[in-house]
Amino acid sequence: MSQRTIGVTEVALRDAHQSLMATRMALEDMVDACADIDAAGYWSVECWGGATYDSCIRFLNEDPWVRLRTFRELLPNSKLQMLLRGQNLLGYRHYEDDVVRRFVDASAENGMDVFRVFDALNDPRNMEVAMKAVTATGKHAQGTICYTISPLHTVEGYVKLAGQLLDMGAESLALKDMAALLQPQPAYDIIRGIKSTYGEDTQINVHCHATTGVTLVTLMKAIEAGADVVDTAISSMSLGPGHNPTESLVAMLEGTEYTTDLDMDRLIKIRDHFAKIRPKYAAFESATLVDTDIFSSQIPGGMLSNMESQLKAQGAGDKIKQVMEEVPRVKADAGHPPLVTPSSQIVGTQAVFNVLMGKYKVMTGEFADLMLGYYGECIGERNPEVVEIARAQAKKDPITVRPADLLQPEWNTLSTDAAKLDGFDGTDTDVLTYAMFPGVAPGFFSTRAEGPKNVGKTEAQLKAEAEAKSDSGNAVT
């Protein structure tokens, strides 16, 4: 039997600890695994971007660019991969195109190979500049489809979006399922649709979280449909809100017409390394192991707990049911955006406001921007009545152009402002840090010289805990 080799992207160094332990893992807790990761046979190693940049400067006193260069050095044979939020880069607003290009160039120069470019609203215009910038550096530009479920989202719609991304020069496509919503059959149908429309050699990478307990089956069906690469996390950094275990993927494919070419001896070493590290960050882990509520509520777990705390802060914890019923209506008014950062927060907060203060009586600035097109276009039309209310409250007109088209060149201003900060080192990468995190960068620059801070527990603390636990364990038995 001739076997097809499935590529694997290991996410332990980025998304796994972002999802399991609030992105808190220090670089020093990763370095010892790198030699084995580099030799295990992965298609790529996701290790940067997403929330890691923010976390590095906010919590870990680590320069994210040092982290990137360290990975480049320790993983010489691997393709390094990052997650990039299109025109937002790794920050929380749209940046002018020149800033986007400078960020991509710096990332490529410092060692990045594969750029997974996405937009929370699936608006291709918000991905285009970043993707073209990646292609210009000669690196791998991966266009991303954020998967969600709504009355307007169809297999055909996803296949169409795939075509737009390919037209933009995507070297491969990512089917990204951040909420673990992607069930086996739609995964199969979307991938078959893309392959049969644009050619069997269209590379498709599949990214699923494990939250709902279903998505290893989704990866199986995706592979049967022709998926080329799938994302997994080494087992000791897997499951719950994280990802499916790499070793389980290998075992799943044994005896089938697919294989992975991964080196199991290396995987075991990587696993053992992180099995030792993970308990250090237990304080940042959530207890959720499996949660299938999202299939009925359509509300991601993180969004639900945000809304719950907002309600509790207002002494209205009993209104969560009403808010959960309000979410789909707000989402429909906004044209059915996928619920992922930042749209999940924007829609969730507005649903809370609607329940507490009356329907659209008070609108957040962000929700008004969403309704007026300042985040880009959604798949559905926005409710014209609500657009009107947004216009009146925000005193801004709706737009139909690409949001970043309204921005003026800003690199010089950003450079000048950054240069005034204590500890600024004069590099473009420091300007980028300031551009993306203007509130956090000043503090980071001023403390950077103190060096990285590990927020995990120490060996001694872990040992003391284990001893306390085994005492109480004996008492119970």
Residue 185, phi then psi, degrees to nearest 5: -65, -50
Nearer to a copy of itself among residue 283 and residue 406 (C-beta): 283
At residue 457, what is the residue type?
K
Q: Is 296 in the site for a copy of itself (CB under 8 A)?
A: yes
d(CA 1, CA 256): 9
Nearer to a copy of itself among residue 449 and residue 475 (C-beta): 475
Q: Is 295 in the site for a copy of itself (CB under 8 A)?
A: yes
- Residue 287's contacts (CB-CB under 8 Å, 6 or more residues apart) are none
d(CA 25, CA 148): 29
Residue 332 binding result from Co ion, a copy of itself, none, given CB thresholds of 5 to 8 Å by partner type: none
241: tokens are 């809100």
Nearer to Co ion among residue 99 and residue 234 (C-beta): 234
At closest approach, how far in Å is the CB of 213 from a copy of itself? 3
Cα–Cα distances (Å) from 122 to 127, 295, 386, in that order, read 9, 21, 21
At closest approach, how far in Å is the CB of 382 from Co ion? 27
At closest approach, how far in Å is the CB of 37 from Co ion? 18
- Residue 71 Cα to chain centre, angstroms: 19
Q: Is 476 in the site for a copy of itself (CB under 8 A)?
A: yes
Residue 15 binding result from Co ion, a copy of itself, none, given CB thresholds of 5 to 8 Å by partner type: Co ion
Nearer to a copy of itself among residue 197 and residue 248 (C-beta): 248
Q: Is 157 in the site for a copy of itself (CB under 8 A)?
A: no
- Residue 390's contacts (CB-CB under 8 Å, 6 or more residues apart) are 363, 367, 368, 371, 372, 398
Environment class of 248 (CB within 10 Å of its CB; exposed 0-12, middle 13-18, buried 19+): middle
Q: Pick the piece of the chain touching a copy of itself (CB under 8 A) from 118-126, 285-293, 342-350, 443-451.
A: 285-293
At closest approach, how far in Å is the CB of 50 from Co ion? 7
8 A C-beta contact, residue 124 and residue 470: no
Q: Pick the piece of the chain touching Co ion (CB under 5 A) from 7-15, 24-32, 317-325, 403-411.
A: 7-15
At closest approach, how far in Å is the CB of 18 from Co ion? 7
Furthest-apart CA atoms within the chain: distance in Å: 68
- Residue 309's contacts (CB-CB under 8 Å, 6 or more residues apart) are none
Q: Pick the piece of the chain touching Co ion (CB under 5 A) from 129-137, 177-185, 255-263, 304-312.
A: 177-185
At residue 127, what is the residue type?
M
Among 10, 15, 63, 366, binds Co ion (CB under 5 A): 15
d(CA 27, CA 47): 10
Of 214-273, binders to a copy of itself (CB under 8 A) are 214, 216-217, 220-221, 235, 238-239, 244-245, 247-248, 250-252, 254-256, 264, 268
CB atoms inside a 10 Å sphere around CB 308: 17
d(CA 235, CA 243): 9
Nearer to a copy of itself among residue 11 and residue 89 (C-beta): 11
Q: Is 290 in the site for a copy of itself (CB under 8 A)?
A: yes
Q: Which residues contribute to the site for a copy of itself (CB under 8 A)? A: 183-186, 212-214, 216-217, 220-221, 235, 238-239, 244-245, 247-248, 250-252, 254-256, 264, 268, 283, 289-293, 295-296, 455, 457, 472-473, 476-477
